[in-house]
Every structure is written in structure tokens, then in C-alpha cells.
A = this chain, B = another copy of it.
Amino acid sequence: MASVAPHLLDADQPGSRATREAVLDAAERLFAERGFEATSLHDVGTAAGVSRGTPGYCFGSKADLYRAVLERCFSDVRAAVRSGRERALASGESADKVLAGIVSEYFDFITANPNFVRLIEWEALTGGHTLEAVPPHVEAAQEALAALSDELALDPDHPGEAAHLLLSVIGLCWFPLVHSQTMLRALGIDPAAPGFLQARKRHVIDLVLSGTLGRPHTRLPS
């Protein structure tokens, strides 16, 4: 994950910029892999090539380091969402092309940034209390929602429609990444097989396009 978030690195925080960055990188990787509880500051220090005390020295406490990781991460995500929206606005394509492009780009983004997905999954399971204290994540979500609503000119009488669609796109893209070791294995799918990711992307795009632009209204079963 690239790095945009100057306030976390310079300012008059303790430690040098290079060390703080190395610690953040190591912490992001380890927190994403093992979660907050199972990651020790000792391990973070070792992975960053510094002593076990340095992460605490640079970031105050383990919880503060974790929050800093989330902040940097969502600062990047927010920037990605914004730039994606601007590109979509400028493209002048038809609604279905734009939607397919959004899904495709999002799919590629999370495939390339597994740390991001895993960090949020850990947050989801542990209550999301740290994420709550990181404003950019709400801004990113709201902007994604607005982009979807605008671009597709969704019916303003149903404000929940865009939200459901966004939830669906995210869920469809995330699921195979998150559950590669559980569901996919149980189903006999190898997520590393050549073509799997592309087939998945295609499936998601087809599903979302047909569901959104067709708009059938099926009755619930009794």
C-alpha cells in the first residue's frame, strides 16, 4: 500500500521518519496477518529491523501504533476512491460501462491490497472500535456511495438502493479473498489457479450489471 499521510511521519513525533515508516510497514503487515492481539511489539520491532522497544518509543502504545496503521491505510483508500470517482466522472461512458469499470477497478484494488481487506475484517470481528476513531474510513465510504448514486443516476426515491448495491459489490469482491482458506478449499477451488481471479471478476460484473440495469421485481417466496 502506497503512503500518503504526512502527519503520521513528520511533525514532532518521536523517532526518525525512516524508522517510523519501517515500523508502520511492519506493523501493517503483522496486524493484517495475525490481528491486534496476536501481534507483539517485539515482533513488530524485529520485522522492522529495530529493537523491541522502538515501536513503543515511536508510537506511544500498541493501540496507538495500530490506530496509526489504520489511519495511513484509510488515507490511501480515500485517495484511491476520490481519484477513481474523478476518472469515472470524466470518462463520459454509459452507465453500464461505468459500473463495470468501477467493479473491475475495485476488484483489482483489493486483490492488490490484501492488508487493507484483512485489517477491516479483523476490525469487523473485534467490534470496529478502533476504526470508529479513524474518520477517513467514513469519508471514503460516503464518497463511494455518492459516486455510485451519481454515476448510475439511481432513483432518489430509494436512497437505500445505492447502499445495497455497494454492499453487494464489496461483499462479492471480498468473499473469495477472505475465505480462500475456508470456503474455497471446502468447495475444491484453488484461488491461486490461473484464471480464477479473472473468472470471479467476470462473474461479479455480470451479476451486478444484470441485477442493476435490468431491475426485475421478483416476489419473495412465502
Which residues A159-178 have CB closer than 8 A to chain B? 160, 163-168, 170-172, 174-176, 178
Determine if A100 and B221 form an interchain contact, defined as CB atoms under 8 angstroms apart. yes
- For A199, the closest partner residue in chain B by CB is B160
Q: How far is the CB of A2 from chain B (nearest CB, A)?
A: 21
Chain B residues with CB below 8 A from A160, complex form: 189, 199
Query: Which of the four size classes fits the interface of chain A?
Result: 35 or more
Is A133 interfacial (CB-CB < 8 Å)?
Answer: no
Q: How many copies does the complex hold?
A: 2
Q: What residues make up the interface of A, taking CB atoms closer than 8 Å to B? A: 35, 37-38, 96-97, 100-101, 104, 118, 120-128, 131-132, 137-138, 140-142, 145, 160, 163-168, 170-172, 174-176, 178-179, 181-189, 199-211, 214-218, 220-221
